[in-house]
Amino acid sequence: MRLELDYIAASLESLEETIIQKFIDRAQFMRNQTVYRKGENGFTDGGDYSLLELRMRYHEDMDALFGRFLTPEERPFTANGRKHPARKVTTEHRGLRIEDYNRVNLTKDVWDSYIALIPEICEEGDDGNYGSSVEHDVAALQAISRRIHFGAFYVAESKFLSSPDKYTELIKEGNRDKLLSALTREEIEKQILKRIETKVETIQAMVNTKVRKVIPSRVIMNYYKNTIIPVTKTGEIKYLLMREI
């Protein structure tokens, strides 16, 4: 893993198209609120989980077997993600100074913010496509989570390495506000938001609106502004405060 900040920034940038596409895919179905209601999963032995919770549990059960969660930026949403892989996986050393990646697990923030976003990207109503809705929800949640954790781990480590004395001082002091302001680069954030807006429009430019719902670029831009960027920074602070010296 290369820890130069411009390489990390380019990797984060490349996840933008993926996230945008997942939102577009989900938006092709109505809100289908049933899939988010506790217990309304329709399974004979589905317990009190919502259909989305159940789908995520099954998915992470499979993903854990295949070794997904050995990668720092892939953090599990459910306890099923803590199972051991069933295959031999060799992972390169990632250069992070933290033993247990799950000490930085922001999936609860990702989940809650995504559920709150659904009414803004989907048409209100119920079209009965519950299976497809939760399939796309899982894909979107995993894509958002990957972006946020990738940023939290690698941006933080990279910034630390570029000014170790300054960050060591701030970490010792334990002042989150000071860390937050050291990690914040407002011009860069503005650039990201502008780029998101253009990408959402470009990607949807050729869509046939007879059958495809189009998402306003403002909605995804605001999600970046109010969730992805700040939650990533929360994660960066978490990482730095737990960083092993």
For residue 36, which of 103, 140, 121, 130 has the smallest C-alpha distance?
130
Is 88 a binding residue for a copy of itself by CB under 8 A? The answer is yes
Phi/psi at 196 (5° precision): -60, -45
The residue within the footprint of a copy of itself, chosen from 1, 17, 95, 197 (CB under 8 A), is: 17
Is 230 a binding residue for a copy of itself by CB under 8 A? The answer is no
Question: Three-class SS of residue 240?
Answer: helix
Is 47 a binding residue for a copy of itself by CB under 8 A? The answer is no
For residue 223, which of 152, 118, 138, 128 has the smallest C-alpha distance?
118
Q: How many residues does the chain have?
A: 245
Total residues at the site for a copy of itself (CB under 8 A)? 51
The residue within the footprint of a copy of itself, chosen from 1, 3, 5, 13 (CB under 8 A), is: 13
**Range in contact with a copy of itself (rule: CB under 8 A) among 63-71, 94-102, 115-123, 169-177:** 63-71
Q: For residue 229, what is the enclosing H or E element?
A: helix 229-242
* Cα torsion 224, 78, 238, 99: sign: negative
Distance of closest approach, residue 167 Cβ to a copy of itself, in angstroms: 26
Distance of closest approach, residue 34 Cβ to a copy of itself, in angstroms: 12
**Range in contact with a copy of itself (rule: CB under 8 A) among 6-14, 112-120, 183-191, 231-239:** 6-14
Distance of closest approach, residue 58 Cβ to a copy of itself, in angstroms: 5
Is 206 a binding residue for a copy of itself by CB under 8 A? The answer is yes
The residue within the footprint of a copy of itself, chosen from 100, 187, 208, 245 (CB under 8 A), is: 208
The binding track of 108-137 with respect to a copy of itself, each residue x by CB under 8 A or -, is --------------------x-xx--xx--
Contacts within 8 Å (CB) and 24+ apart, 36-43: 36/115, 36/118, 42/130
5 vs 3: CA distance, rounded Å: 6
The residue within the footprint of a copy of itself, chosen from 119, 212, 214, 226 (CB under 8 A), is: 212
Q: Which position has the token pair 């860069």?
A: 188
Question: What's the token pair of residue 12?
Answer: 């984060």
| Contacts of a copy of itself in 159-198 (CB under 8 A) | 195, 198
